[in-house]
Amino acid sequence: MSFDSFFMMNKVMFTDIRRGCINVSQRYIFSLMCFFALFNAFAMRGCLSIAITEMAMSTNNDEGLVEEETCSYSDDIVPDNSTSSTGSTKGTYDWDEFTQGLILSSFYWGYVVTHLPGGWVAEKYGGKHTLGFGILLTAVFTLLTPAAIYVGDSTALIILRIFMGLGEGTTYPAINVLLAKWTPPEERSRTASFVYAGALIGTVYATTVSGWILQYSSIGWPLVFYVMGTISVIWFFIWLPACYNSPKDHPFISEKEVNYLNERMNEHTHEKPPPVPWRHILSSKPLWAVIIALIGFNWSILSIITDLPKYLSGVLKFSVANNGYLTSLVYLCMWIGGNTSPWLADYLISKKNVSTTKVRKYGSIVALAISSSFIVAASYAGCDRVLVIGMFTVAMTMMGAAYPSVMVNPLDLSPNYAGTLMALTNGLSALTGIAGPYLIGIMTPNQTLGEWRFVFWILFGVSIVSNAIFLVFGSGDVEYWNDPEFVRNEISEKERKRSNAA
């Protein structure tokens, strides 16, 4: 018997629990649990980016390079301490930059595959179990990572990461389906941004804790995967009884909150919308505009999440502990930007001062064009560590404006088909997670400033072009094909023509 059935059949037994919960807005609990879903998802996918700097043997290609292309080793914050325990497995695996690029990108090979199926399952059967079991599957494979590496080296790790991606590919589509059921329009920017920011805090957590473990644990890098996987399993067993597909399914929600949500969301969100209108979706200019904008955003954010630790380690020569601290600082700044800008966005929308479309476009300029400028500038700061980290923190703070703009935009276009749209937009844009690390691995064989500068210029170009397209064709208005009556009438018209032809 499922948790849902158990609780619904035994509501009388939970009267006391209901009394305790009735004064707590369940949509806030839902938001918090979705936040931790992304927190764990990104912690599991991101911890390898730090761990691999200690798992793989160092690249020593300094010979023959001009002095300006390399930074001398001098960790000014925490001096190298030969007595620090980093585990006996440090530098065990002879993985060159190309192999590391394949390992880091392999997660996304599986990730893009399950987006559309995940969105369809979430829309048809609900997002709760689609999200929950996807995270659980990823957690199991995370726990198996050390064993897989011991048995099959890089090949086994690549295969395992593909399976992790398959599990995690349902995450964003399922969350978007749930957000469409639980989030009123006037709260959508800040609620969705809060939930999506779980990805950033999860990355902060993963990089910080991984740095501690790698620096001080006698177990070494395997403990990184055990910690991340175990905490995700614990989340799963809290998620099952705490959250539900929609307000009407929740056994502990107050009648007042159910009525409020129904009233605020009744216009554009329906319980059982007709089949997905693929022809209209695939010909929608605003939808393709946000897909392209998300490609630009994901190219930036996934490149930074996946490869910033390698840049700090290979180019700026930070120790593993400081690598974790400073990478975490960069992501924390993005979280700050991602949680302050939504309040302004929702304020402007609720007060009717600025249209939803303009709010989304203004945010995209900050998140794409301006932030990528600072990333390029960081590469010209050379070996000035303070200036480089400063540039990255400013860039990532501004990148946080993507959450109340291009990230939430699919929900604007169609609340009824939120899962399908998120699957389509995030799935296609996540292809950059395959291309980015692979190309970076090819372009940075020597880990020099010149090689990375070229990487950042490509990032800048992708961001500028994608932002320009979104500014021309993007929209924050609900699309006509979101209306169930429009879709049903079109289906009826097709059936009538088919009958007449017969």
Q: What are the pLDDT digits (tens) for 254-294?
A: 888 888 888 776 655 556 677 888 889 999 999 999 999 99
Same domain, 130 and 252: yes
Q: Look at residue 215 and tell me if it is in a domain.
A: yes
Q: Look at residue 292 and tell me if it is in a domain.
A: yes
- Taking a C-beta distance cutoff of 8 angstroms, is the pair 412, 360 a contact? yes
Confidence of residue 495 (pLDDT cuts 50, 70, 90): confident
pLDDT digits (tens, 9 = 90+) for 192-240: 878 988 988 898 888 888 888 888 888 889 999 999 999 999 999 999 9
| CATH classification at residue 409 | 1.20.1250.20
> Helix, strand, or coil here: 65?
coil
pLDDT at 69: 65
Q: Look at residue 4 and tell me if it is in a domain.
A: no
Same domain, 112 and 142: yes
Beta-ladder partners of 7: none
Same domain, 321 and 445: yes
- DSSP state string for 292-355: HHHHHHHHHHHHHHHHHHHHHHHTS---HHHHHHHHHHHHHHHHHHHHHHHHHHHHHHHTTSS-
Same domain, 181 and 251: yes
**Alpha-carbon distance 42 to 37, whole Å?**
9
Final residue in a domain of this structure, among 263, 296, 321: 263
The proportion of the chain whose per-residue pLDDT surpasses 90, expressed as a percent, equals 30
Final residue in a domain of this structure, among 263, 297, 321: 263
pLDDT digits (tens, 9 = 90+) for 174-196: 998 898 888 887 787 788 878 98
Same domain, 468 and 337: yes
pLDDT at 339: 80
Same domain, 251 and 282: no
pLDDT at 75: 58
**Alpha-carbon distance 299 to 429, whole Å?**
8
**Alpha-carbon distance 145 to 243, whole Å?**
29
Range of the domain at 430: 276-501
pLDDT at 148: 94
Q: Look at residue 308 and tell me if it is in a domain.
A: yes
Same domain, 346 and 388: yes
Confidence of residue 99 (pLDDT cuts 50, 70, 90): confident
Confidence of residue 86 (pLDDT cuts 50, 70, 90): very low
Q: Specify the number of domains making up the chain.
A: 2
Same domain, 212 and 355: no
Beta-ladder partners of 478: none
Final residue in a domain of this structure, among 208, 237, 263: 263
Same domain, 332 and 217: no
Q: Look at residue 86 and tell me if it is in a domain.
A: no
pLDDT at 459: 92
Same domain, 107 and 131: yes
Same domain, 229 and 130: yes
Average pLDDT over residues 8-27: 57
Q: Look at residue 15 and tell me if it is in a domain.
A: no
Same domain, 259 and 297: no
The answer for residues whose C-beta is within 8 angstroms of residue 111's C-beta and 6 or more apart is 165, 166, 168, 169, 430, 433
User: CA–CA distance from 84 to each of 87, 214, 226, 480 (Å)?
Assistant: 9, 9, 21, 61
- Does residue 315 carry a pLDDT above 60? yes
Single pTM value for the model: 0.71
Per the model's pLDDT, the better-predicted residue between 184 and 148 turns out to be: 148
Q: Look at residue 482 and tell me if it is in a domain.
A: yes
pLDDT digits (tens, 9 = 90+) for 396-427: 999 989 988 888 888 889 888 877 887 888 78
Confidence of residue 60 (pLDDT cuts 50, 70, 90): low
Q: Look at residue 17 and tell me if it is in a domain.
A: no
Instruction: Report the 10 Å Cβ neighbour count for 253.
Output: 23
